[in-house]
Amino acid sequence: MPLRVGICGVGTVGQGVLYLLTKKAGSLDQKQDCSPVVTCLGMRTPRPQVDTTGLIVFADVLQVAESPAVDVLIETMGGVDDAKTLITTALARGKHVITANKALIATHGQALCQQAQQAGRSLKFEAAVGGAVPIIKVLTETLANDKVTSIRGIMNGTANYILSAMARHGTSFASALATAQELKYAEADPAFDIDGTDSAHKLCILAALAFGTAPAFDQVTTEGIRKISPTDILLAKKLGGCIKHLASAQRHSNGYTLQVQPRLLPKEHLLAGVNDAMNGFEVVSEIAGNTFYYGAGAGALPTALSILADLTSILNLSGNKAAGGTAFGDSRPQRSTPNTASDGHYIRLTAQSTRQATDRLQHILDTHSIQPKAHATASSDNATAVITENTEEQTLQKALAEVARTLPTAELRHIRFG
């Protein structure tokens, strides 16, 4: 008997899923007498380019969740409230559910997983993070018997493309963003990507799975990339590194820290080599040590492939009624103060002249006993920058406050290093 599939949301990713299931069906790992067959589509907006021959099409997506012709519902329409209603309805009607919706899982994933377990159904979301990179499977299966201590990654292709373009071509942030929008890497409203919200959603999902807690989106400290200038990109290169928008989750003895922020990485770091719209993930665990995962983090077919991986997992269950969802822990993570003494810092000062910026910055660092280990200037921009040795946060903030107070017209930029 075939496993009947309904797809809700037939935009970029939904069309990719439909293509792979109808045109490339032979590539899916099929069980005998239990191959997937698309029976229904939920399309709130007509899409003439979508071939609906032989399919039931509903303008009301809830009808897909309620249809007796569906065993597995695939949600690719995005948003939170409508998607939550759709998925809760589908689980209540005895459907397995696969979703690529990171915002939904980050904010309601624990409750939805609990409902799936109670219903004896699967809720799977490999495609919510990393596109074609199976990072959720790594955490829930490969490293399930290990203790993960940290995750760091480049989790948003739009932000990474912008920073890569700025580094490659010396362009401004605005110009690189415009190019990303022309190439369809960035939305017309790119705020979720460039302000770090998208990465924060993904990070809190990974952290919850790695640390055995409930997702806690409200505990992610988030900083975007709008303030990164061509001067910062140039000075970072002169200092032997590059600026990346990094998402990181760290386990501490008294809790966890979750951060999304620009960081200056040394060029030798594996994540420094993740460019354009690609994603990269570095996982540190007690037994496996450092492991690294890289690949296409977005796009119709890479994301659709992860959805099909979840569908294969459901096919491999012993019967359509078996539950095999990805579960979170019950407790919220305890927020911890990061060990900021382990951080070096990039500090850039732009003043009336390069000499003024250099002299003033060096004097203030000396006053606060902050040791620079690398220095670079951009004379055309009247800018100077240093990378410091590891420095306590309180000491650093006092120094930055003194710079701002004594040079109120200067431009000051601070980015963590390493």
Provide the token pair at 55.
């399919």
**Catalytic: which of 95, 102, 137, 202?**
202
Is residue 132 a contact partner of residue 302, using CB atoms and an 8 Å limit? yes
Pairing between strand 383-388 and 123-124? unpaired
Q: Is 24 in the active site?
A: no
Cα 260 from Cα 101, distance rounded (Å) = 19
- One DSSP character per residue, 354-390 reads HHHHHHHHHHHHHHTTPPEEEEEEEGGGTEEEEEESS
| Residue 316: count of CB within 10 angstroms of its CB | 12
117-149 burial: b if 16+ Cβ within 10 Å, else e:
eebebbbbbbbbbbbbbbbbbbbeebbeebebe
Is residue 143 a contact partner of residue 150, using CB atoms and an 8 Å limit? no
Is residue 67 a contact partner of residue 56, using CB atoms and an 8 Å limit? yes
Q: Quick one: which of 83, 126, 130 has its CA closest to 104?
A: 83
Q: Which helix (H) or strand (E) holds 310?
A: helix 300-315
Question: Which residues, 6 or more positions from 152, have their beta carbon under 8 angstroms from its beta carbon?
Answer: 246, 247, 248, 249, 271, 281, 282
Provide the token pair at 177.
């963003």
- One DSSP character per residue, 76-110 reads -S--SHHHHHHHHHHHHTT-EEEE--HHHHHHHHH
Residue 177 Cα to chain centre, angstroms: 18
Residues that are catalytic: 202
